[in-house]
Amino acid sequence: MRICVAGAAGAFGMKHLDALAKIDGVEVTSVVGRTAATIEGFVRERGIAHATTDLAESLARQDVDAVILSTPTQMHAAQSIQCMQAGKHVLVEIPMADTLTDSREIVRVQQETGLTAMAGHVRRFNPSHQWIHNKITAQEIAIQQLDVQTYFFRRKNINAAGNARSWTDHLLWHHACHTVDLFQYQTGETISEVYGVQGPKHPDLGIAMDMSIIMKTPKGAICTLSLSFNNDGPLGTYFRYICDNGTWNARYDDLYDGREQQIDLSGVAISSNGIELIDREFISAIREGREPNGSVAQCLPTMDVLDQIERMMSD
């Protein structure tokens, strides 16, 4: 499997490159970067044969079967469609788009081309959430409430590696996207009620810095999500699953029960790295000719909920 990684020199592009290096039968044959100076030095260090600042150049190559897009959010929709129209499978980091209209167009093009198109909803793959999902699937537990806190300190436009961004992050279309998808995935239901409020917008960045969202499924499970770019530590996302038969706290790669006893996750998946597990699913789905877990079609209901929240908060 010959892969192009676009946005390779960014924080998540490098995570994908590290993950792909652990998967047998995979070669990164091309990378795309924002500037020639950055990407050319990057490929020399990584030993990758081809680098460009133009995605179309990579898509024209015969040694590219599939593309992983770790590019700015605002480019996701157009680039996903561009990849599929060039005959390439695509894995796009979340959100697949920043509007519902563009998300629907991605799904339409995927259905038209029949190619594999997947959104990088890493929470579906993190072993801590997989452990919970396995118990739900086995009908051992059912979610009563999912309580989530997503807190960062981002009063400047920098990425996870502390470097300046060429684009602006978004609490709703990026960080809430994770939890909206996870809640629907874990409950197996489509959200039937949703309410959202946001705090003041940053005077320079133009985005809301604080947000609260409440969701409910038809069977009565609820999710309370609090998000902030104003939180001065500790940083990250924390999940409390309150179920009919136990309570669990997920903290990235770790899981604890309600009494703070750590759960052994060693047998849940082949890796504890969610990005590696996403990439493995993407490649396996292409090889097996099947729909991946996290296909753009499966994730479209999440984009519909985000659109509802956005319209509600703009009223």
CB 177 within 8 A of CB 302: yes
Instruction: Give 13's contacts (C-beta < 8 A, 6+ positions apart).
Output: 5, 6, 7, 31, 68, 70
Rounded Cα gap, residues 270 and 291, in angstroms: 20
Task: Report the largest interatomic distance among the alpha carbons of the chain, rounded to a whole angstrom.
Answer: 55
- In degrees and rounded to multiples of 5, residue 26 shows phi and psi of -125, 135
Q: Domain 126-268 falls in which CATH fold? A: Dihydrodipicolinate Reductase; domain 2 (3.30.360)
Please state the three-class secondary structure of 267-300 as a single string.
Answer: CCCCCCCHHHHHHHHHHHHHHHCCCCCCEHHHHH
Q: What's CA 119's distance to the chain center, in Å?
A: 6
Q: What is the pLDDT of residue 314?
A: 86
CB 96 within 8 A of CB 75: no
CB 183 within 8 A of CB 260: no
Domain residue limits, the chain: 2-121, 126-268
Taking only the tens place, the pLDDT of each residue in 4-34 is: 999 998 889 999 999 999 999 999 999 999 8
Q: What is the pLDDT of residue 157?
A: 62
- The band of 160, judged by pLDDT with boundaries at 50, 70 and 90, is low
- With CA atoms as reference, report the closest residue to 36 among 60, 11, 57: 57
User: Which of the two residues, 43 and 124, has the higher pLDDT score?
Assistant: 124
Give the chain's count of helices (H) and strands (E): 9, 13
Q: In whole numbers, what is the pLDDT of the chain averaged over residues? A: 94
- The band of 167, judged by pLDDT with boundaries at 50, 70 and 90, is low
Q: Which of 40-44, 91-95, 264-268 has the lowest mean pLDDT?
A: 40-44
Q: What is the pLDDT of residue 234?
A: 84
- The band of 158, judged by pLDDT with boundaries at 50, 70 and 90, is low
User: Which of the two residues, 108 and 156, has the higher pLDDT score?
Assistant: 108
CB 275 within 8 A of CB 21: no
- The band of 89, judged by pLDDT with boundaries at 50, 70 and 90, is very high
% the chain with pLDDT above 90: 82
Give the residues across from 255 on adjacent strands. 250
pTM of the model: 0.93
Q: Does position 301 have pLDDT exceeding 60, yes or no?
A: yes
Q: Does position 219 have pLDDT exceeding 90, yes or no?
A: yes
Provide the sign of the torsion angle of the four alpha carbons 298, 304, 305, 307, taken in this order. positive
Instruction: Give 35's contacts (C-beta < 8 A, 6+ positions apart).
Output: 53
| Average pLDDT of span 55-60 | 98
Q: What is the pLDDT of residue 233?
A: 85
Strands of 14-135 (E only): list them: 27-32, 50-52, 66-69, 89-93, 117-120
Q: Angle CA(68)–CA(72)–CA(75) in degrees, nearest 5?
A: 80
- The band of 153, judged by pLDDT with boundaries at 50, 70 and 90, is confident
Rounded Cα gap, residues 154 and 134, in angstroms: 35
- With CA atoms as reference, report the closest residue to 17 among 91, 68, 71: 68
CB 120 within 8 A of CB 195: no
CB 70 within 8 A of CB 10: yes
Rounded Cα gap, residues 97 and 95, in angstroms: 5
Q: Which of 117-121, 208-212, 238-242 has the lowest mean pLDDT?
A: 208-212
Q: Does position 121 have pLDDT exceeding 80, yes or no?
A: yes
Give the residues across from 32 on adjacent strands. 6, 52
Which pair of tokens denotes residue 292? 């991946």
User: Which of the two residues, 190 and 155, has the higher pLDDT score?
Assistant: 190
- The band of 161, judged by pLDDT with boundaries at 50, 70 and 90, is low
| Average pLDDT of span 106-121 | 98
Look up tokens 């809430």; give the residue: 176
Q: Does position 46 have pLDDT exceeding 70, yes or no?
A: yes
Q: What is the pLDDT of residue 169?
A: 75
CATH 3.90.380.10 holds for 2-121: no
Give the residues across from 195 on adjacent strands. 214
Q: Does position 166 have pLDDT exceeding 70, yes or no?
A: no
Q: Does position 313 have pLDDT exceeding 60, yes or no?
A: yes
Which pair of tokens denotes residue 222? 């609820």
Which pair of tokens denotes residue 233? 């530590």
Q: Does position 159 have pLDDT exceeding 70, yes or no?
A: no
| Average pLDDT of span 40-61 | 92
Q: What is the pLDDT of residue 235?
A: 86
Q: Does position 168 have pLDDT exceeding 70, yes or no?
A: no
